A = this chain, B = another copy of it.
Amino acid sequence: MPFHSHKLPNGLQIVAESSPSARSAALGFFVRTGSRDETPEVSGVTHFLEHMVFKGTPRRTYLDVNRDFDRIGADYNAFTSEENTVFHAAVLPEYLPQAVDILADILRPSLRDEDFNAEKNVIIEEIGMYEDQPGSCAYDNAKRLFFADHRLGNSILGTVQSITDLRRDQMFDYFTRRYVAPNITVAAAGHFDWPELVHLVEKSCGDWLPGPVGRDGLRETPGSGGFQVMTKEKVTQEHVILMAGGPPADSPLRHAADLLSMIVGDDSGSRLYWALVDPGLADSADCSFHEYEGTGSFYSSFSGEPDQAESNLEIMLDVLRTVRRDGVKEEELQQARNKVLSRVVRASERPKGRMVAVGMHWTYQHEYRSMDDELKAYEAVTTKAIHEVLDRYPIDRVTTLALGPLASLSAPAANGHQ
């Protein structure tokens, strides 16, 4: 898998992994900006801007954007996270020039007043739908509680108030600061010609402005340790989330942290699965590891009947305390390794999977890692490395949020703080 990289004079970076046997090409524009880069006054602007990017440019109306993507049969979309806004398309190799042209063009959007005002309603509707999903709502509030004054606690969608108040000039200002060339990486994978790709990107993005890039508040955090119950009477199930600190995205411990979360709470065959889901005590129970720039976190959660929430919380804490104290068994580690290797391999079989992996890795680490590098890193994890993660990031030192019909829930005695 030959890897290539190139930096344009304005600072925009291009990275690509070509795989000669692929029959399609995947292309992504990774803008290193997300909800953690927002001040409270513009909460939600990153995600709103992602929408506006599809609303047209000086060269294309929003109908043209749709039609031009459709004409080449592109599978295209975008997403916004706490740290990244990514615009991507997968196409047959012969349509790569058009894909570069469309994606590059829309990344210099017109941000027309009329579209801005119309799209506001779409965003506000999206916030409403999101708030109607108790699982999503619990997740957002758990992050807010855990991260407290840390910027990773910012909501990605923003609030009805912040979006209503947002002005077009504030978005334009945010765009001008954050969508500068050095803050963008173009990643490609699959079947393409590297010199041609560089030429296409240079032609379309060579005149984008450079500018300073930065990100504030990169400190590591173990979380607030808070305990909060949010009562929503219309919800039938109680959703409980326990968050703990974890290693950041550039930590050598991140593969061990990922395997640990899988052993604790993968959706099948994990400790939480056998303790809560298989016996029918909870409808769902899982644990996952999320890595960010500067910090990371473990999210353990369950949902189920409200009257079982208290005993389920005890069981979950017991699972977390036990793993923290005794570590994991070689056999469990082997099973988790097999699962993750299988998932990495399957995700990598599509150019889109490799494009996202290569683009993300470059954005965070400024280095290339092949799929085999990733597999080796997972294979090298030992039970000792997992102990190290647990010592440094106590998975049972939790911040707890419950959302559902319950008016109260007893905070467990120890709460992992020792």
Chain A contact residues, CB within 8 Å of chain B? 19, 21-24, 66-67, 69-75, 90-92, 95, 268-269, 334-335, 337-343, 345-346, 348-352, 371
Contact = CB atoms under 8 A, between A and B. Distances in A.
Contact of A346 (B66, B90, B338, B371): B90
Contacts of A19: 21
A341 B92 contact: yes
A187 to B, nearest CB: 17
B335 A73 contact: yes
Nearest to A351: B349
B349 A24 contact: yes
Given A23-B345, A345-B23, A338 B66 contact: no
A349 B75 contact: no
B351 A73 contact: no
Contacts of A22: 349
Q: Is the interface of A mostly helix, strand, loop or mixed?
A: helix
A346 B268 contact: no
Given A23-B348, A23-B349, A95-B338, 17 more contacts: A19-B21, A21-B21, A24-B345, A24-B346, A70-B268, A70-B269, A70-B339, A71-B338, A72-B338, A73-B337, A73-B341, A73-B343, A90-B342, A346-B350, A349-B349, A349-B350, A350-B350
A78 to B, nearest CB: 14
A51 to B, nearest CB: 16
A19 B349 CA distance: 12
Contacts of A348: 23
What is the copy number of this chain in the assembly? 2
A67 B269 CA distance: 6
Nearest to A348: B23
Given A338-B92, A342-B90, A342-B92, A66 B24 contact: no
Nearest to A74: B342
A277 to B, nearest CB: 11
Contacts of A335: 70-71, 73
A21 to B, nearest CB: 4
A269 B73 CA distance: 10
Contacts of A74: 342
Contacts of A92: 338, 341-342, 345
A73 B23 contact: no
Contact of A73 (B67, B90, B95, B338): B338
Nearest to A23: B345
A73 B24 contact: no
Contacts of A24: 342, 345-346, 349
Contacts of A95: 338
B23 A269 contact: no
Given A66-B269, A268-B66, A269-B66, A73 B349 contact: no
A351 B345 CA distance: 11
A90 B345 CA distance: 10
